[in-house]
Amino acid sequence: MRTIGNTIKARRKLLRITQQQLADIAGVSINTLTKIERNEGNPTLDVLERVLDALGLDLTACIRTVA
């Protein structure tokens, strides 16, 4: 089963950007992004939306992909 964290990590790698670059673009801390990619913690919807938006992804599409 694919998780949102796996989807974010795969997209980031596809775009060839580092975790730090994505964190900066999305306006979140590197620790937050690392936890999201590892499927740890409990990010808010706002944080998820900012990260997904920075990657050109949509929260609704990611939820459908994961489900």
| pLDDT, position 1 | 58
Mean pLDDT of 5-27: 96
Contacts of 7 (CB under 8 A, 6+ apart): 57, 62, 65, 66
Q: Where are the domains of the chain?
A: 4-66
Q: Which pair of structure tokens corresponds to residue 27?
A: 């306006």
pTM of the model: 0.85
CB of 51 within 8 A of CB of 28? yes
Say which CATH class 4-66 falls into. Answer: mainly alpha
How does pLDDT run across 20-53, given as a tens digit for each residue?
999 999 999 999 999 999 999 789 999 999 999 9
Inter-residue long-range contacts of 40-48, CB under 8 Å, 24+ positions, other chains counted: 48/4
